[in-house]
Structure 1
Amino acid sequence: LQTPRSGCSSCAAPETHSPDTPTAEPEPSELVEVEFKGRRRLLCSNPARLPLRLRELVLVTSPHGIDAGHVSALGATAQRKQALYYNGAQPQERILRRATPQDQQQYERNRREELELLLQARQLAKSFPTLASMKLTDAEWQWDRRRLTLYFTAPQRVDFRGFVRTLAQRFKTRVELRQIPAREETRRLGGLGPCGRELCCATFLVQLKPVSLQAARIQQLSMNLLRLSGLCGRLKCCLLYELDFYREALQHYPPLNAIVHTDAGPAKIVKLDLLQERVQLQLQETGALLTLTHAQLQELRAQGRIELPSTPAPPETPPSEPEEESLPPEEELE
Structure 2
Amino acid sequence: MRGAVSESQVVGVRFQPTGKVYHFYASDQALRTGDFVLVETVRGQQLGEAVCMRPLRAGEDIKKLKPVQRRANGLDLARRQQWQQKEKETLIVAREAAEQLGLPIKIVSAEYAFDGQRLTLLYVSENQDLNLKRLRQRLQRAVDVHIDLRQIGPRDHAKLLGGYGSCGELRCCSRCLPEFSRISIKMAKVQGISLSPSEITGMCNRLRCCLTYEYEQYREACKIMPRRRRRVKTPHGEGKVIDLLPLEGIVVVSIDDRRLEVPVEQVELIKKK
Same fold (TM over 0.5): yes
The residue aligned with 1:205 is 177
1:166 Cα deviation after fit: 2.0
Query: How many pairs align?
Result: 266
247-256 vs 219-228, which moves further: 219-228
User: Identity of paired residues, percent?
Assistant: 27
Residues 119-158 of structure 1: pairs in structure 2 closer than 5 A: 119-129=92-102, 131-132=103-104, 134-158=105-129
The residue aligned with 1:46 is 25
The residue aligned with 2:264 is 294
Alpha-carbon distance change, 49 to 239 in structure 1, aligned in 2, over 3 angstroms: farther
Give distance in 1, aligned partners of 2:40 and 2:4.
21
Where 1:51 maps in the other structure, the secondary structure is: coil
1:28 aligns with 2:6: yes
**CA deviation profile, 1:220-276 (whole Å, cap 9, x unmatched):** 013343343334332221210111111121111221121225577653211011122
**Does the aligned pair in 2 maintain the 1:33–1:41 contact within 8 Å?**
no
**Does the aligned pair in 2 maintain the 1:31–1:43 contact within 8 Å?**
no
Give distance in 1, aligned partners of 2:271 and 2:236.
14
Give distance in 2, aligned partners of 1:208 and 1:257.
36
Give distance in 2, aligned partners of 1:142 and 1:38.
16
Give distance in 1, aligned partners of 2:53 and 2:26.
14
1:158 Cα deviation after fit: 4.0
Residues 188-227 of structure 1: pairs in structure 2 closer than 5 A: 188-195=160-167, 197-227=169-199
**CA deviation profile, 1:58-101 (whole Å, cap 9, x unmatched):** 1101124211112222348x99xxxxxxxxxx974331111233
The amino acid across from 2:125 in the alignment is A
The amino acid across from 2:36 in the alignment is L
Residues 144-293 of structure 1: pairs in structure 2 closer than 5 A: 144-159=115-130, 160-195=132-167, 197-261=169-233, 266-283=238-255, 286-293=256-263
Cα root mean square deviation, aligned: 2.8
The residue aligned with 2:60 is none
1:126 Cα deviation after fit: 0.9
The amino acid across from 1:27 in the alignment is V
Give distance in 2, aligned partners of 1:261 and 1:215.
29
Structure 2: runs of 5+ lacking an equivalent: 58-62
1:38 Cα deviation after fit: 6.0
Where 2:75 maps in the other structure, the secondary structure is: helix
Length-normalised TM-score, structure 1: 0.70
1:33 Cα deviation after fit: 1.6
Alpha-carbon distance change, 262 to 127 in structure 1, aligned in 2, over 3 angstroms: same
Where has structure 1 moved over 6 Å in runs of 4 or more?
Answer: none
Give distance in 2, aligned partners of 1:57 and 1:258.
59
1:114 pairs with one of 70, 87, 96: 87
Alpha-carbon distance change, 56 to 44 in structure 1, aligned in 2, over 3 angstroms: same
1:173 Cα deviation after fit: 0.8
**Does the aligned pair in 2 maintain the 1:182–1:232 contact within 8 Å?**
yes
Give distance in 2, aligned partners of 1:254 and 1:245.
16
